[in-house]
Structure 1
């Protein structure tokens, strides 16, 4: 393909992936974009693949991460450049050519994108998976593979469908039919296997999820904590009867020092006694120059009987990496005056309704945090969160998409509570049972299934699929070496282009 056409396909790929991302969620555009990307990269030398990957990333991340510019233009540019570099590297590891029947390494694109998704959950600063491709797939058929192989397999299945489409353009004759058939089998097999996976039901949970509403687009340092508390408890006062659980959002109670004995403690304890129900509330406690971010459980008699402190903090939101160095160049105190303390302990709350898994806000983007909660015995997953700082709906929509993927990965219902949205109740199959509107007060009262047992993904995690992706990327080089040995053994010499 001429280079100008490849450049146009690359830009189209970026546009398709941006349209597939939350909140739009047009999931068919992910495999379509993969097909265009594979065709554009096919047969290109290393430098060209790097350039096409960088162009894809600059357009895709430039669009999908635009919400970051509301915080700091320099930070937005830095993240876009970093993520673009990672996508360019993914393009670079797609081989240019292979000797023999499979000319070109276009069919390794799914493996490269799987490794990209994995890298985004680990780097930088412990991971930044908000632009991950998998978040476009909760409504797509590929999400059915989540219980078998997690988000990495979901990405792989969706991308395999894309290279199946690319095969219609790249290959010819019987090879075209074979390539399409192989892509169809590889894409469908995980879905068939995952369909046989089921966790075990152990009753239902009558849950009340509280959203107090209020203004959006304000950083925590510019808000009145008492107003936040008042709005959440005003909505909680509308709860009738005695639910099995009441869930309030992250950062509802703010205290100087431990929450015990404060006015907020007394108000939540009174609510728990009035409803004769356990209440889980997000609490922020000052501790010297730092603070603690916890989900605290009040029992029906008003006592505090459980606590989980957030372990995976938000970089540049809850702490500043390299704070002392960066503060020599810019003012950070006005936006993030204190760093959060890293929590310890298991992501589980033992309640009268049974063991409840809990992850706080940003942690729902990381399967390892949810895996800890589920393997410890959590029958339902609680996600108290706070995305009120963001003006647009991208981050709240990303959190809901991540929660839906986590529900399918681990076979658990998910209850998410946010001060200004989105709050949601999600079934173990990823369907959204109820969802609030942004900025509006809301009370979601839903009965969700509780489950026990572990899915294959909960048992195995990501390593098998990381290893498989690495093997697929190495396969072209192995095929090339094998072909060369056969030619050398036959006493012939055939010039070839090396695979990368």
Structure 2
């Protein structure tokens, strides 16, 4: 039984090392080169193994990857951390079953990793893509492919580069060199063709406000009025001649529709004083539900438009199967009410222009950014709230996601958080300004407005998923063809 399931101690160590290398490339670190190295080690460990030891090796590598990168969940609910860890490790292990053990097919390892990231972006509960391999590549060369194929293509190129190194040593070198050269040429041509061709539409004079304050406090225990007051205090220093002012998620908390509240009147006065469009995150709380909204006030103080968050955080903004979990755990105490899901693209029609919006968790999902941009958004706003986290992993990962969305969509991204990280990101993914954690911050910059769509904004993940599906289908088909060709030769040799 041990011989059938265990891949050998050297390969087990390599699996742990591969997962640890992938984890080491994740934000807040910027060691992007560790991910290709992890893919190279993982490829060496997997090739030549049957499906059972591949499954075990995948679980070991998944544990090395997800245990450190999801450790921040222990601060919320240790049992929740264990459940998420088991699920993610299981998905990683299952993905390794897609790997062809033949040394000539080393390229099935990056294909399997791309398939894994595609599944994690959609399952469970609409997806949980934290961490994502692509988010460790913002400072490396592979991120240049984001406008062409999004984060999945970035994952494919990153892990493909590492797997190719292993392929050069373990497979037929001439054939592997030809394949690698062809992939490099196609990738370079694709990246060149993906250069953004959107037309500039002027500039937006922006300010992003961070009130500061204590961190590590769950939303249900936060002093909501103190959060609002700190934002007003920092906003007193806003300069003149602004077009847009962005406040974070949950900047204003009310128990009724925000339109006729005293809090709305105060934000309206701020908009009139600055003569700018003010976009603020508003929580409209009811007895059993709440709405997470981005509301735009015009320079004249009138409420112009609103966007209600579509992609909610499971076990953060709502409890799936709440009745069941209320009997099983105390998790519902942290989420006493469920968020009402919104509809449609995140787009605010304002005097400053059409503003795309993705609220907090939505920044990790390219489909929400695509919806905002294809609807006409010329810049992306990300009001968020990461004050519940004591460490910088999640805030840093949010900034990385904002940078990835900027490159995919060729749009500037403004991200505002009550305690950090608040950031201004340019369309090429560079961070123009970023605040610190916990401190009051007022960031200002003139950012470019863009029109037009990148190839990825037009097609999304479709082309990459078709390529992955074709690769997975082609492998077994080629093996079957080879077996048919060898069968007549074997028969002739036997008869002879």
Structure that is richer in helix per residue: 2
Tell me the secondary structure at the aligned position of residue 259 of structure 2.
Answer: coil
CA distance in 2, matches of 1:245, 1:361: 19
- Does the CA contact (< 8 Å) of 2:43 and 2:163 recur in 1? yes
Tell me the secondary structure at the aligned position of residue 107 of structure 2.
Answer: helix
Q: 1:174 Cα deviation (Å)?
A: 2.4
Deviation digits for residues 190-229 of structure 1 (CA, Å, limit 9, x no counterpart): 323323x322111111000000000000011111111000
Matched, 1:37 2:42: yes
**Within-5 A mapping of 1:48-447:** 48-97=53-102, 103-195=103-195, 197-447=196-446
- Does the CA contact (< 8 Å) of 1:160 and 1:186 recur in 2? no
CA distance in 2, matches of 1:132, 1:184: 23
Q: 1:187 Cα deviation (Å)?
A: 4.2
CA distance in 2, matches of 1:177, 1:368: 36
- Does the CA contact (< 8 Å) of 1:379 and 1:452 recur in 2? yes
Tell me the secondary structure at the aligned position of residue 328 of structure 2.
Answer: coil
CA distance in 1, matches of 2:252, 2:216: 19
CA distance in 1, matches of 2:72, 2:216: 11
- Does the CA contact (< 8 Å) of 2:17 and 2:64 recur in 1? no
TM-score of the aligned structures, taking structure 2 as reference length: 0.96
**Within-5 A mapping of 1:9-20:** 9-20=14-25
Q: 1:345 Cα deviation (Å)?
A: 3.3
Unaligned runs of 5+ in 2: 1-5
Q: 1:107 Cα deviation (Å)?
A: 1.3
- Does the CA contact (< 8 Å) of 1:158 and 1:187 recur in 2? no
CA distance in 2, matches of 1:193, 1:48: 41
CA distance in 2, matches of 1:492, 1:396: 64
- Does the CA contact (< 8 Å) of 1:209 and 1:415 recur in 2? yes
Tell me the secondary structure at the aligned position of residue 328 of structure 1.
Answer: helix
Give the paired residue count: 489
CA distance in 2, matches of 1:232, 1:53: 46
Q: 1:59 Cα deviation (Å)?
A: 1.7
CA distance in 2, matches of 1:191, 1:89: 31
Tell me the secondary structure at the aligned position of residue 199 of structure 1.
Answer: coil
Deviation digits for residues 73-103 of structure 1 (CA, Å, limit 9, x no counterpart): 1000110110001100111110123xxxxx4
CA distance in 1, matches of 2:492, 2:47: 25
Aligned-residue RMSD, C-alpha: 1.7
Instruction: Report the CA distance shift for 1:375/1:118 in structure 2 as closer, same or farther (over 3 A).
Output: same
CA distance in 1, matches of 2:367, 2:288: 29
Q: 1:270 Cα deviation (Å)?
A: 0.5
CA distance in 2, matches of 1:494, 1:377: 68
